[in-house]
Chain A
Amino acid sequence: MRTISLVRQLGEVLVAVGIAPLFAGWIAQCRAWLQNRTAPPLLQPYHMLHKLFQKDAALATDASSLFRSTPYVLFGTMVLAAAIIPSIATDLPFARAADAIALIGVFATARVFLSLAAMDIGTAFGSMGARREMMVGFLAEPALLMVLFNAFLLFGSTALPSLVDGYAMKRSVVDPSVLFAAVAFLMVMLAENGRIPIDNPATHLELTMIHEAMLLEYSARHLALVEWASSLKLFNYACIGFALFLPWGIATHGSDGGVSMLIAVAALAAKLVVAGAGLALIESLSAKLRLFRAPEYLAIAFLLAVLGLLVHLLLGTSANA
């Protein structure tokens, strides 16, 4: 393990942790512009985190140690995921600790811990949020797995660094299975991060909440950590999407030196700006679905991914014959 890769690894984690709230803030800005409102300042999420850290934590009298430690566990899993995903460079020591399927497992751990913590206090809304979040989770996993299956068929690997290296060397032609997989991934990303059309992140109506309902009992530093972890989760999903479908700019294996790192950081920033605007556009154009239409939505995502797989099996390999 060379020191340069350790430095890169640390840098990547710090960039992820630092930029994630900014990404969430940028999406909020774009939404406001599209909805013809005055936008909050771009650094608003940081101000909110600062405010929350200053407050005293108000815990319910019955809160157990599971409830108190969950925010830290969430933050830990999200930081670990950020360390594994090659957002800036592929030559990272942590990147070899997990492939994409293990990454899904990390997100599942975070989801289960949050659901358990929501059930801990014993309120009606907490258990409702837990039940809904687990439902969306278990429907999204098959779709996500099929997207990774697609990637495996195209490049022979599920490890993200190998995928990025392989894609960057492929000639850039549009492949229908990649397109299908990309749309399916986008749909799953919206579902898993609690965005419209599955869940409205800015809602105040508790009966419509999925993700927010699990956070109702958290306050002060715990809430700050959970919110930070949520924005980090969105950032991570965006970076997985970039690694799978838009990997240009990431410093691949063998390219050392400061120039490639600067290019990678600039490319990441540009991609995040565009992705944030795109997400805000999708959110503003769609309406939130009824809860029991969510299985249909995720079934469509699953279907798209499987179609991509089948189209590749039929057309992709035989087109070279």
Chain B
Amino acid sequence: MSRAHQWIAAAMTPDHALRVLLILILFWVVLGAGGLLRPRTLRLVAHILFPLGAVACAGVAALAGIFLTSGHAPETMILPPGLPDLPFHLRLDPLSAFFLLLLGAAGAGISIFSAGYFRVGEGSAPALHCLQYHVFLASMAVVILANDAYLFMVAWETMALSSYFLVTSQHRIPEIRRAGFLYLLMAHVGALCILLSFGVLQGGSWQFTFDAMRGASLTPFWATTAFALALLGFGAKAGLVPLHVWLPEAHPAAPSPVSAMMSGLMLKTAIYGMLRASFDLLHVQFWQWGAAMLVLGLFSALFGAIFAAVQTDMKRLLAYSSIENVGLIFTGIGLSVLFAASHMPLFAALALTAALLHALNHALFKSLLFLATGSVLHATQQRSLGKLGGLIRRMPWVAALALVGTLAIAGLPPLNGFVSEWLLLQSFLFTPQLPHAFVNMLVPLGASVLALTVALAAYVMVKFYGIIFLGQPREANLSHAHDANKLERLGLGWLAGGCILIGVLPQLALRIAAPVTGQLLGTTVAPALSFWRIAPIAPEQASYSGLVFLAGIAGVFAVTFVLVRLIAHGRTRRTAPWDCGYPWQTARMQDTAEGFGQPIRHMFGGFFRMERDLPAADDPAPRYRIHIEDRFWRAIYQPIAHGVQRTADAVSILQGGRLSVYLLYSFLTLLVLLVFVL
């Protein structure tokens, strides 16, 4: 009886947006379960369930966007399930609305693509895929909406488990099982750190709601401990160095839409968690936190970019590129904390806007790129860069949309990647004004590391696009490649459209990021100056107009084309390529993936652990082999694994197998309890 009363009372509270969002989330779970009705048929899953899920994603995004731009006060809701004295608390405020918008916008594109992607016979049944996928999506949304530690951890665990099942879809292959195990292990290490952090954050009140944590006052030592634990936990999930080792294994092992979800959406929930913990629950107290995040972020960014440049597997390359982008986001967050703790809120808002925007942009263009590799994989069955090439002629749609994604991730105007990187560089310009002694001279050097990383990302993406889509096909069977089907094209096009929209009209993105910085820091950067350009601090200081860029380039393109045709002519003839007159050109003479990465390998050799097999000069059948490994694996993870193994071996002595020994243990315990109790 009382339960029913509670349910009705919960339904009566006037929280419209939050209620509709919860209904949409429940709808996802229902869709997932609906697939189980006919487990083996593909049509139900592909043509009905996934598209409906995409519509729900778009709905979530739209609602979140309306909530953000209308400036409503935060809404809360309490649901009866949960622990006896800790029911589920939910909260919709600008920070969660922003990340829900991100989730919905990118998720819609991925869902539509998946509708056309999943085929029968690849590992798990399609219905199981549908269930796991939608549970994953729903759990991420609940993580973003959670307002108490218990619901947060429940949703976090659900996220980890459902993504584990998705990663190990093709579970008959041993490498994929290994990758899944590593992923689950790191996810749980991170979850443990987050749990401990919540334990510290409650600050003695033993109330685990976020409201209680906001109000708790912690000593500097405990606040820093909570921050460090949160950084470890959320950093492990986001892929921050040195906790990144699971990323390059899990992303290639998963099917491409799942990789897109993990890279585009799951890493952002970790970013959300970090923002919630440091800004909202801990009220950014110390500049040293910001400096630590800045250093870790810059190092991760450089590390990710350098490793991406030497990869030969296209999905591993994208995984390392995700590490790089997460590093950039953490750099922005670190800079923001640094400014906020030094009482410079306007610059903190600028840095935070850059970080938020980069998270949104990354969700869009990284999902686009992973989905494009999915299409390539389906068409060619090849993942290695050494066996691809020339696909722009066989798959023009995928190539064109992947070009948009490549240009966006390389940070080139007028697309969206450039806007967030520009804002981040702008915020670095103000760091010499920081009041701390050595910091104001060292942090500007961070701007140069940032510029190096961004330029290196362009290098990596030219390698990625050039070797897969351009040039000559490196294998004969690539001539049978087919282009993506309609649903896949729709998904790719949605994401590419998002990239172009934010690039050309960054004012929209600034408008949705403004309430978030207002909530977390109290100030916002200047809104759009006019409809055609943005000027975050002041128009005399710097301004940018994506519209002018696009219009200018396109306009000159058109005018030049017409003028050249009019004044000269447009005659063309097709011949064999010139190639400096060398007549016996084959496809093997172009750059390989290793070859394109050779300058990076030469310059940054100290970062890698390389094993090379070089042929001798008189070798009749010369073979060249190179294997590049992560130093962190040998330096940190293997010693820890060996230590754990040794400890386990030592403890296993206790399990002798003899019954009398076990009875002896019980007897000894009984004696000890008798002595201490009596």
Which residues of A approach B to under 8 Å, CB–CB? 53-54, 56-64, 66, 69, 72-73, 75-77, 79-80, 83, 94, 96-99, 101-102, 105-106, 108-109, 111-112, 115-116, 119-128, 130-132, 134-135, 137-139, 141-142, 144-146, 149, 152-153, 156-159, 162, 206, 216-217, 221, 225, 292, 295, 302, 306, 309-310, 313
Which residues of B approach A to under 8 Å, CB–CB? 389-390, 392-393, 403, 407, 410-413, 418, 422, 425-426, 429, 432, 440-441, 444-445, 447-449, 451-452, 454-456, 458-459, 461-462, 465-467, 470-472, 533, 539-545, 548-549, 552-557, 560-561, 564, 567-568, 571-580, 585, 587, 589-591, 595-596, 598-600, 602-603
Contacting pair A97 B548 (CB below 8 A)? yes
User: Which of A83, A138, A221 interacts with B552 by CB under 8 Å?
Assistant: A83
Taken together as a complex, chains A and B put the C-alpha atoms of A159 and B578 apart, in Å, by 43
Given the contacts A135-B599, A138-B452, A306-B445, A54 and B574 also touching, CB distance less than 8 Å: no
Given the contacts A76-B553, A119-B471, A158-B542, A127 and B591 also touching, CB distance less than 8 Å: yes
Given the contacts A102-B544, A122-B590, A115 and B462 also touching, CB distance less than 8 Å: yes
By beta carbon, the residue of chain A nearest B588 is A124
Contacting pair A119 B466 (CB below 8 A)? yes
Contacting pair A145 B445 (CB below 8 A)? no
Given the contacts A121-B471, A127-B466, A131-B596, A75 and B556 also touching, CB distance less than 8 Å: yes
| Count: A-B pairs, CB below 8 Å | 248
Contacting pair B452 A142 (CB below 8 A)? yes
Contacting pair A60 B455 (CB below 8 A)? no
Would you give the shortest CB distance from B40 to chain A, in whole angstroms?
Answer: 41
User: Which of A76, A134, A138 interacts with B557 by CB under 8 Å?
Assistant: A76
Contacting pair A134 B462 (CB below 8 A)? yes
Given the contacts A72-B557, A115-B466, A138-B456, A127 and B471 also touching, CB distance less than 8 Å: yes
Given the contacts A106-B413, A108-B455, A152 and B429 also touching, CB distance less than 8 Å: yes
User: Which of A60, A94, A102 interacts with B413 by CB under 8 Å?
Assistant: A102
Given the contacts A80-B549, A145-B451, A152-B429, A60 and B577 also touching, CB distance less than 8 Å: yes
By beta carbon, the residue of chain A nearest B564 is A221
User: DSSP majority for the A interface?
Assistant: helix
Residue among B445, B451, B458, B573 with the highest chain A CB neighbour number at 10 A = B451
Q: Which residues of A contact B441 (CB under 8 A)?
A: 310, 313
Given the contacts A76-B554, A134-B459, A221-B568, A122 and B472 also touching, CB distance less than 8 Å: yes
Q: Which residues of B contact A96 (CB under 8 A)?
A: 533, 539, 543, 545
By beta carbon, the residue of chain B nearest A78 is B556
Q: Which residues of A contact B571 (CB under 8 A)?
A: 56-57
Q: Which residues of B contact A108 (CB under 8 A)?
A: 410-412, 455, 458
Taken together as a complex, chains A and B put the C-alpha atoms of A131 and B601 apart, in Å, by 13
Q: Which residues of A contact B539 (CB under 8 A)?
A: 96, 159
The 6 closest A-B pairs by CB, nearest first: A138-B455, A122-B471, A122-B472, A127-B591, A119-B466, A97-B548
Q: Which residues of A contact B418 (CB under 8 A)?
A: 102, 105
Would you give the shortest CB distance from B264 to chain A, in whole angstroms?
Answer: 23
- Additional pairs, 14, CB under 8 Å, beyond known A123-B585, A135-B599, A217-B577: A57-B571, A58-B574, A60-B576, A62-B393, A72-B560, A76-B557, A97-B548, A105-B422, A109-B413, A124-B590, A125-B580, A137-B458, A158-B426, A225-B564
Given the contacts A149-B429, A158-B542, A101 and B422 also touching, CB distance less than 8 Å: yes
User: Which of B412, B553, B568, B585 interacts with A53 by CB under 8 Å?
Assistant: B568
Contacting pair B552 A94 (CB below 8 A)? yes
Jot down 7 A-B pairs with beta carbons below 8 A, ordered by A. Answer: A60-B577, A75-B557, A76-B555, A108-B412, A134-B458, A141-B451, A144-B451
Would you give the shortest CB distance from B405 to chain A, in whole angstroms?
Answer: 13
Q: Which residues of B contact A123 (CB under 8 A)?
A: 577-579, 585, 589-590
Q: Which residues of B contact A99 (CB under 8 A)?
A: 541-544
Contacting pair A77 B432 (CB below 8 A)? no
Taken together as a complex, chains A and B put the C-alpha atoms of A68 and B452 apart, in Å, by 30
Contacting pair B541 A159 (CB below 8 A)? yes
Q: Which residues of B contact A302 (CB under 8 A)?
A: 448
Contacting pair A72 B561 (CB below 8 A)? yes
Q: Which residues of B contact A53 (CB under 8 A)?
A: 564, 567-568
Given the contacts A98-B544, A102-B544, A122 and B412 also touching, CB distance less than 8 Å: no
Contacting pair B390 A62 (CB below 8 A)? yes
Q: Which residues of B contact A115 (CB under 8 A)?
A: 462, 466
Taken together as a complex, chains A and B put the C-alpha atoms of A157 and B429 apart, in Å, by 9
Contacting pair A124 B548 (CB below 8 A)? no
Contacting pair A116 B544 (CB below 8 A)? no
Contacting pair B541 A75 (CB below 8 A)? no
By beta carbon, the residue of chain A nearest B602 is A292
Contacting pair A112 B410 (CB below 8 A)? yes
Would you give the shortest CB distance from A261 to chain B, in whole angstroms?
Answer: 23
Contacting pair A130 B462 (CB below 8 A)? yes
User: Which of B462, B572, B598 interacts with A56 by CB under 8 Å?
Assistant: B572
Q: Which residues of A contact B451 (CB under 8 A)?
A: 141-142, 144-145
Q: Which residues of A contact B595 (CB under 8 A)?
A: 127, 131
Would you give the shortest CB distance from A114 to chain B, in whole angstroms?
Answer: 10
Would you give the shortest CB distance from B335 to chain A, in whole angstroms?
Answer: 15
Would you give the shortest CB distance from B324 to chain A, in whole angstroms?
Answer: 13
Contacting pair B587 A122 (CB below 8 A)? yes
Q: Which residues of A contact B392 (CB under 8 A)?
A: 64, 66, 120
Q: Which residues of A contact B544 (CB under 8 A)?
A: 97-99, 102
Would you give the shortest CB distance from A61 to chain B, in whole angstroms?
Answer: 5
Q: Which residues of B contact A56 (CB under 8 A)?
A: 571-573
Given the contacts A96-B545, A125-B579, A158-B541, A76 and B560 also touching, CB distance less than 8 Å: yes
Q: Which residues of B contact A144 (CB under 8 A)?
A: 451
Contacting pair B448 A142 (CB below 8 A)? yes
User: Which of B445, B455, B470, B553 interacts with A119 by CB under 8 Å?
Assistant: B470
Taken together as a complex, chains A and B put the C-alpha atoms of A73 and B596 apart, in Å, by 24
Contacting pair B412 A116 (CB below 8 A)? no
User: Which of A57, A64, A217 interacts with B578 by CB under 8 Å?
Assistant: A217
Taken together as a complex, chains A and B put the C-alpha atoms of A144 and B447 apart, in Å, by 11
Contacting pair A149 B542 (CB below 8 A)? no
User: Which of A62, A138, A313 interacts with B432 by CB under 8 Å?
Assistant: A313
Taken together as a complex, chains A and B put the C-alpha atoms of A98 and B532 apart, in Å, by 12
Residue among B458, B467, B587, B589 with the highest chain A CB neighbour number at 10 A = B458
Contacting pair B553 A73 (CB below 8 A)? yes
User: Which of A63, A145, A216, A310 interacts with B447 by CB under 8 Å?
Assistant: A145
Q: Which residues of B contact A76 (CB under 8 A)?
A: 552-557, 560
Q: Which residues of A contact B440 (CB under 8 A)?
A: 313
Contacting pair A138 B459 (CB below 8 A)? yes
Contacting pair A79 B412 (CB below 8 A)? no
Taken together as a complex, chains A and B put the C-alpha atoms of A119 and B560 apart, in Å, by 24
Q: Which residues of A contact B590 (CB under 8 A)?
A: 119, 122-124, 126-127
Taken together as a complex, chains A and B put the C-alpha atoms of A286 and B614 apart, in Å, by 36
Contacting pair A145 B577 (CB below 8 A)? no
Q: Which residues of B contact A121 (CB under 8 A)?
A: 471, 577, 579
Contacting pair A124 B549 (CB below 8 A)? no
Q: Which residues of A contact B598 (CB under 8 A)?
A: 131
By beta carbon, the residue of chain B nearest A138 is B455
Contacting pair B455 A141 (CB below 8 A)? yes
Taken together as a complex, chains A and B put the C-alpha atoms of A292 and B580 apart, in Å, by 24
Q: Which residues of A contact B568 (CB under 8 A)?
A: 53-54, 221
Taken together as a complex, chains A and B put the C-alpha atoms of A63 and B576 apart, in Å, by 10
Contacting pair A120 B471 (CB below 8 A)? yes
By beta carbon, the residue of chain A nearest B547 is A97
Would you give the shortest CB distance from A214 to chain B, in whole angstroms?
Answer: 12
Q: Which residues of A contact B449 (CB under 8 A)?
A: 142
Taken together as a complex, chains A and B put the C-alpha atoms of A11 and B455 apart, in Å, by 33
Q: Which residues of A contact B552 (CB under 8 A)?
A: 76, 79-80, 83, 94, 97
